[in-house]
Amino acid sequence: MHNKSGLNILSFLKSNDNYILQRWNDYKDNYVEVVQGPIWDNPCWLTSSQDGRAGGDKFAYAYELAAFSRYGRWNLEKVPPRKSKDSLTISHICGWGPRCCNPHHLVLEPKWMNDERTHCHWALHNAWNYGGYHGLQEAYYLRVCPHYPACCYVTWW
């Protein structure tokens, strides 16, 4: 149960599906900047807010709305608002944390795996900053990332 709201689900899930999708579409059309990130030919969609919130009313994080558009209510109802290490969470494979809301950069996985990704993101972002996509290819060749889907890499599933 969430310590402030007392809910067992993410708070925006109190709203109906059409309203959530409307909020997502309005937000992505007006407040998202598309930038080339560490995933080849699949840019990050960065929110205009530094904390990743979708709008000033604290309705939801933009990445939560993006995950809803991809995975639907049934799957997101399994993501608790307060997480233990085995709880399901919305994880960013691009490593841009709450600011990226590209639905293809989001996976649902246990919190412990999400936490592990921070090590990969650090190494892969350094490889990308140093050598661009060639640096990332070399990092993958050295098996820097053990995850599936791999960090900073999109497989079209």
Q: What is the mean pLDDT of residues 3-9?
A: 65
157, pLDDT greater than 60: no
Please give the Cα distance from 122 to 126 (Å, whole number). Answer: 6
pLDDT (0 to 100) of residue 87: 93
- 128 SS3 class: helix
pLDDT (0 to 100) of residue 69: 97
pLDDT (0 to 100) of residue 57: 67
**Phi–psi pair at 78, nearest 5 degrees:** -85, -10
pLDDT (0 to 100) of residue 42: 92
pLDDT (0 to 100) of residue 5: 56
Query: Any idea which residue has 């892969």 for tokens?
Result: 124
Please give the Cα distance from 35 to 53 (Å, whole number). Answer: 18
4, pLDDT greater than 60: no
* Residue 157 structure tokens: 């599933």
Question: pLDDT, tens digit, for every residue of 67-113?
Answer: 999 999 999 999 998 889 999 999 999 998 889 999 999 999 999 99
Please tell me which residue, 52 or 154, carries the higher pLDDT value: 52
Please tell me which residue, 30 or 155, carries the higher pLDDT value: 30
**Environment class of 87 (CB within 10 Å of its CB; exposed 0-12, middle 13-18, buried 19+):** middle
pLDDT (0 to 100) of residue 2: 47
Question: Contact at 8 Å (CB) between 7 and 81?
Answer: yes
Question: pLDDT, tens digit, for every residue of 16-60?
Answer: 999 999 999 999 999 999 999 888 889 999 998 888 888 766 789
Question: Contact at 8 Å (CB) between 127 and 138?
Answer: yes
Residue 67 makes CB contacts below 8 A (sequence gap 6+) with 76, 90, 103, 106, 108
